[in-house]
Amino acid sequence: MTGSPVKILLVEDHFMARMALRSILSGRPDLLIVAETDNGQEAIRLYGKMRPDVTIMDLGMPELSGFEAIAAIRKQDRNAKIVVLTNFEGSEDVYRALSHGAMAYLTKDTSGQELIAAVLSVHQGSRYLPRAVRDTLAERIPCSELTPREHQVLALISQGNSNREIASNLQIAEKTVRIHVSSLLAKLGARDRTQAAIFAIQRGFVHLD
Quote the number of domains for the chain: 2
pLDDT of residue 144: 55
pLDDT of residue 143: 43
**Do 192 and 166 share a structural domain?**
yes
**Do 156 and 196 share a structural domain?**
yes
**Do 89 and 34 share a structural domain?**
yes
3-state secondary structure of 184: helix
Which CATH number belongs to the domain containing residue 180 in this structure? 1.10.10.10
Residue 72 is inside which H or E element, if any?
helix 66-76
Q: Is residue 208 part of a domain?
A: no
- Could you tell me the pTM of the whole model? 0.74
Instruction: State the residue range of the domain holding 161.
Output: 148-203
Q: Is residue 143 part of a domain?
A: no
**Do 122 and 38 share a structural domain?**
yes
Give the closest residue to 11 by CA, choosing from 33, 34, 41, 43.
43
**Do 159 and 129 share a structural domain?**
no
pLDDT of residue 1: 47
Q: Is residue 1 part of a domain?
A: no
**Do 119 and 33 share a structural domain?**
yes
Computed from CA positions of residues 57, 62, 63, 65, in that sequence, does the dihedral angle turn out positive or negative? Answer: positive
**Do 127 and 97 share a structural domain?**
yes
3-state secondary structure of 106: strand
Which CATH number belongs to the domain containing residue 92 in this structure? 3.40.50.2300
**Do 154 and 119 share a structural domain?**
no
pLDDT in tens, the chain (209 residues): 457 999 999 999 999 999 999 999 998 999 999 999 999 999 999 999 999 999 999 999 888 999 999 999 999 999 999 999 999 988 888 888 988 999 999 999 999 999 999 999 999 999 899 988 888 877 776 545 788 899 899 989 988 899 999 999 999 999 999 999 999 888 887 888 888 887 777 777 776 65
**Do 153 and 117 share a structural domain?**
no
pLDDT of residue 141: 61
**Do 187 and 94 share a structural domain?**
no
